[in-house]
Structure 1
């Protein structure tokens, strides 16, 4: 295993990809996840289809496994929500580390080396990719304030110093994330896992990432209502 933190990677990385009607982008995401650096890293790609009615399942099942990459497809019986899909993927994960990867091309798998590097320190257990610390294009700002509000509430309630709580890019040591009882069904997965980590006083490290938001016309599914649910979730778990 490389000792230089800039080139550190786990023996096996599990990548959980929740998916609902993402036929337009899923194939590209899988190609980029397979080829993301470091290229010789072994990876377990777990696509969790959340009741898609398009060709998402067929696209995922058509991707072959190879010597370094194992593709697994989980089919949910119905559309249950992102949180339910992520939890199903986490239960199947076998890697040393687990990363959540959206299926919509908003997050760049080329950021994997930056996300993995902090884990060269055995005391690091969780890393979030921060869009605030990273480069942003102009379309990001229409979603900026909602995420900042959720992050502010998380910091206020838990005494943390996060810059981007709602980020998709969350990386965990597998033993840790599988030890946390999670209940989320929808987009409230993010605030639930953050709340439960902070309640355990587990430090969350952040690294800069790139972000390319899509519009609602292009298929973006999260809305301002999900931000309100996130705040409610953070509050509930703070006092539960």
Structure 2
């Protein structure tokens, strides 16, 4: 099979039939063998019924339905687990991604040897203040932090080699950083293609300004995971030992000064009356806690089990 097209969605009933026709037309024009995987992330409208009707009419259409809304990352994870095509395409269901881009994305993977190709919506039809400016700031921070030189991390239109999606773990809200996850997993050949951005035709966006706050928090998380995810003791242990030594040396210095003053019969306050003693003590306590945090992190890494991430109610 040439292509698996993974489409996560939430309450996109109105756009599904049109999107299916558009994708099917592109697939037929290029003689691709393909499957379309609609991942219904807990929709409360008629999205699942629409997917069922599309699947009944077209055997290339498959579906996964979550019991409730788990988020885009979990939907992509479920789609990646089921995908079988040599190249996996992800796109949004709101008709803002253009299926006409798929052939060139496919060729970049199969002929040019890219592991992953990310779309870049260079010209957008979103509000400048609510989306464009925050998105540019977010993408700049992501480039600087991750070292992956992309202009649009959050574009839903991406292409992957099959073994890429089978070897990355998309969790939490890390769908924004799949290129970073791919790089960390050993797939460094990441490309970018300028793609057309369509104005939303039906419904409303499912993401508000909070996605940028969450995005920056996730960026910190993925930076930490990239640097210390396999060795938390290297960060917490090092900081803990450093703080403990600083606190210990400070406490010894305070005690030594007290002994010197007593030996010379000079007036000296009680050690416990010296505020620096408590600062030194606090530093040692924090250092111990950081060391224990690193130690516990190492234990968790070696004993963790995969947790249940979502519940699927139906598949097609």
Q: CA deviation at 1:105?
A: 0.6
Q: Secondary structure at the match of 1:62?
A: helix
SS at 2:159 equivalent: strand
Higher share in helix: 2
The structure that has the greater radius of gyration is: 2
CA positional deviation for 1:139: 4.0
Tell me the equivalent position of 1:214.
Answer: 200
Q: What's the secondary structure of 1:17's corresponding residue?
A: strand
Q: CA deviation at 1:65?
A: 6.7
TM-score (norm 1): 0.84
Determine the C-alpha separation between the residues in 2 that align with 1:195 and 1:112.
22
Tell me if 1:94 matches 2:70.
no
In structure 1, the partner of 2:182 is: 197
Matched, 1:56 2:44: no
In 2, Cα distance between equivalents of 1:201 and 1:75 = 30
What CA RMSD, in Å, does the superposition of the two structures yield over aligned residues?
A: 2.2
**Once structures 1 and 2 are overlaid, which stretch shifts more, 147-156 or 37-46?**
37-46
Structure with the bigger RCO (C-alpha within 8 Å, sep 6+) is 1
Q: Could you tell me which residue of structure 1 aligns to residue 70 of structure 2? A: 80
Report what 1:146 is aligned to: 134
Q: CA deviation at 1:213?
A: 3.7
Shift of 1:115: 1.5
- Residue by residue, what CA displacement relative to the aligned partner does 1:16-55 show, whole Å, maximum 9, x if unpaired? 1111111111111111111125441011101111111111
Q: Which residue of 1 aligns with 2:215?
A: 230
8 A contact 1:195–1:238 mirrored in 2 = no
Q: How does 1:1-240 map to 2 (within 5 A)?
A: 11-37=1-27, 38-64=29-55, 70-121=60-111, 123-132=113-122, 136=123, 138-139=125-126, 141-142=128-129, 143-184=131-172, 186=173, 188-191=174-177, 193-199=178-184, 200=186, 202-214=188-200, 218-240=203-225
Aligned length: 222
From the superposition, tell whether residues 138 and 170 of structure 1 become closer, same or farther in structure 2 (CA, over 3 Å).
closer
How big is the shift at 1:87? 0.9
CA contact (8 A) 2:3 2:87 kept: yes
Checking the alignment, whether the CA contact within 8 Å between 1:106 and 1:211 is kept in structure 2 is yes
Q: Any gaps of 5 or more consecutive residues in structure 1? A: 1-10
Q: Do the aligned partners of 1:19 and 1:49 also contact (CA within 8 Å) in 2? A: yes
